[in-house]
Chain A
Amino acid sequence: GAVVSQHPSRVICKSGTSVKIECRSLDFQATTMFWYRQFPKQSLMLMATSNEGSKATYEQGVEKDKFLINHASLTLSTLTVTSAHPEDSSFYICSARGLGATNEKLFFGSGTQLSVL
């Protein structure tokens, strides 16, 4: 199947710093990417949907100024957690699909474990 690469896999940072997470589609053009966060032993909660070249659509309750999403190319989307605080510590995971594809062809990244001290 298609491959979605996510980096870094783990990051530890101090409170107040910003962290950037990258999600790349390696062998297809990802026109749509989804960003989720997952707390321990909980479900995947959709944060935002991004389409290449346009602004991301954020889910209710997700601060767009805190979680900056950029989807400037068909193979790369980034999530930047700005001024991170301990409550932002979570597992962040992206998923991507290509032009005209449905969720039957949705591919997940390997996730990023963020720990904010």
Chain B
Amino acid sequence: GENVEQHPSTLSVQEGDSAVIKCTYSDSASNYFPWYKQELGKRPQLIIDIRSNVGEKKDQRIAVTLNKTAKHFSLHITETQPEDSAVYFCAASSNFGNEKLTFGTGTRLTIIP
């Protein structure tokens, strides 16, 4: 089955700086990669996703890049703000999101004011 690894497990950045979180996956059949933001005790919220037919996607301060050859994808948050502090999970699934999601281990992002 699919295995998704995520790094780093914790990340602290100064407000206004950029944050990068990286994930690798093992199943070459995976072709849908979402990122979720989860605040403590709350439901995960989809913040951005990418399909394998594109290499990069951007939505305001958030971007995701995908390297299919290397089987890794990354989340980039620019101009970080205190409200960006949360746990971020990457995930992967095949069949363009029709199959079950496999989640990464999570990154606790702390923005230092």
Interface residues of chain A, those whose CB is within 8 Å of chain B, are 34, 41-46, 49, 91, 93, 102-104, 106, 108-111, 113
Contacts and interface: CB of A to CB of B under 8 A. Distances in A.
B94 to A, nearest CB: 10
A11 to B, nearest CB: 14
A15 to B, nearest CB: 23
A106 B89 CA distance: 15
Contacts of A49: 100
Interface residues of B, number: 23
A103 B44 contact: no
A49 to B, nearest CB: 6
Interface of B: 32, 34, 41-46, 49, 89, 91, 93, 96-98, 100-106, 108
Given A42-B105, A106-B97, 18 more contacts: A43-B103, A43-B105, A43-B106, A44-B103, A46-B100, A46-B102, A49-B100, A102-B96, A102-B98, A103-B91, A103-B93, A103-B97, A103-B98, A104-B32, A106-B46, A108-B45, A110-B42, A111-B42
